[in-house]
Structure 1
C-alpha cells in the first residue's frame, strides 16, 4: 500500500493506493455542509469502494454517507470521528483494497 497527497489545492487529502497507483481509499477533511450535515466545521471522512448491496445497508447507518465525490453506488463515505479506531474500519479497508485490484 502507498499513501500520497495527490491534490495541490487540498494538501490534507490522502489517497490510499495499490502499488500500481490505483486508489482504494481517499481520506479528506470536508465542511459539514458539503456533506449535507449541519454546520461549517471540517469533518474528516474516508471513502472506500464497496459492493452495491453493502453500500445500501451502510448508507442508512449514522456513521456513513453516500460516497463523497465518488460513485454513490460503489463508494461509501465513513465519518471518521464516529469510529473509536481504525480497526473498526478494517473490513471496509480490506474489502476496498480487494475490490479495486
Structure 2
C-alpha cells in the first residue's frame, strides 16, 4: 500500500482530531498540521520537486515534514524515503517522500 497526502490527512484527523490548514495563497497545496492546544506545527505537507531532496529528478512529489526528537534524526535519515528536512530546521525536522514510503 502506497501512502499519499490524503492518507496522512485522514490519519491525523482520525487519531488526533487535527485538520490541516492552508496558510499560503502562493502555495495552495502546502498544508500545516498544528497541535490543537498551542497551535505549533508538528507537520507540513508539501508538493515539491525531487531535486530539492537531492534526487536527480525534477518530478513533483508530495512530502511530509515532521518534527521529531533530535536523537532520531540520524537513524531515520538512513531509511529509504526519509531525508534531512527540506526548508526546515534539520536538527529537529525530517522530510518523508511519500512516494518512497509504503
Q: Which has the higher helix share?
A: 1
Structure-1 separation of matches of 2:57 and 2:20: 30
The separation in 2 between residues aligned to 1:2 and 1:23, in whole angstroms, is: 12
Q: TM-score scaled to structure 2, two decimals?
A: 0.76
2:61 corresponds to which of 43, 49, 52: 43
Between the two proteins, the alignment pairs up a number of residues equal to 84
Aligned residue in 2 for 1:98: none
Contact kept, 8 Å, 1:55 with 1:76, in 2: the verdict is yes
Stretches of structure 1 lacking an aligned partner (at least 5 in a row)? 85-101
In the alignment, structure 2 segments of 5+ residues that lack a partner are 1-17
- TM-score of the superposition, structure 1-length normalised? 0.77
Alignment partner of 1:22 is 2:21: no
Pairwise CA RMSD? 1.1
